[in-house]
Structure 1
């Protein structure tokens, strides 16, 4: 089961997320809190989260600082920002802090659980409009070498940058989900990055993808 930790200051939404996670057989809620004031204590426990669902603006220690702390303590943890904000500044700060995905709160229940599973598998879930903003941020960057990526690897990285989950990428390219994962692991190795979000960001900066 995928262990999920939630930070959300809206009581009603936090309860909804708890119920949503509790009712999914693949997910295990390890905790739900209204801010990151005690995030170090939550991460030092015996049960380490695999995925953190993180609001941005919370009282006390907010989400962006929370991501930084989480990544310092548990480098392998996957963090999805869960927010109403679409502005470039907050998006950029979240990605720089180490966020692995960025979801808007208008997403449906099924989209939220799918995103948790996707990021756990190495994906980089984003709303399409957020993915476009990420691409816009880096479109003026100077073009640099492609790190030796094959045509197929560039194709899959491009699809990942569009916020597509593995299942959709596999269906559209006619290969299995496991093959998609294998190709993307090779991409991460060649680009010297740890995950899909870093690969997409670097790919856009280097104009490997557009």
Structure 2
């Protein structure tokens, strides 16, 4: 069963989102949590989601810290930001913490469902307005290109990720089985010191590790 968690303190919005995501596919279950602490307690009790949608402004632990705490416990769980915030600092903190996608609450439920599907396929969906700001800010930075020690195969996988290819497409293009691709991807994350595909792509563009994607 596909398990999706919505961590959101606005009960009305949380329930509406849970209802919309519960029809994502047969066998999908959407669970609701009003804060990070409740979700972390459920994880510590042995439960786990496949993907969790996290608001940023939450009572107690904020959503960005919550992503970091959950990713430490469940590194394979996909994290998505679902918020009203478009603040640059919060965007970068969320990506650094391990968010695999960034959606806005103004998005339709169909757009949110589509983003969840993309995350489950290994992509990194970001709201177009947010993505444009991220790339613009990165383009203003001109750091010296560091050497992260990526080998040729890791570099090729990273370049494919920046082109927006999902897991199966990368495997087919590079003639790798999925287990080998997963190993290579983990090596990339470890060498770049990031927790997910979105952060890896953002870092690669920011530090000119790959050619920037076409406009």
TM-score (norm 1): 0.79
Distance change in 2, residues 1:103/1:26 (3 Å): farther
Please list, as runs of the form range in 1=range in 2, the aligned pairs for 1:7-86 lying within 5 A after superposition.
7-26=7-26, 28-86=28-86
**Where does residue 163 of structure 2 map in the other structure?**
159
| TM-superposition CA deviations, 1:109-129 (whole Å, max 9, x none) | 111111112112211110112
Shift of 1:195: 3.7
Alpha-carbon distance in 1 for matches of 2:16, 2:26: 17
Contact kept in structure 2, 1:188 and 1:195, CA below 8 Å = no
Distance change in 2, residues 1:93/1:26 (3 Å): farther
SS in 2 for 1:59: coil
SS in 1 for 2:20: helix
Contact kept in structure 2, 1:4 and 1:27, CA below 8 Å = no
Alpha-carbon distance in 2 for matches of 1:181, 1:51: 22
Shift of 1:44: 2.6
Alpha-carbon distance in 2 for matches of 1:183, 1:131: 25
Alpha-carbon distance in 2 for matches of 1:152, 1:73: 29
Distance change in 2, residues 1:145/1:109 (3 Å): same
Q: Which runs of 5+ in 1 are unaligned?
A: 167-176
TM-score (norm 2): 0.77
Alpha-carbon distance in 2 for matches of 1:62, 1:181: 36
> Size of the alignment, in residue pairs?
196
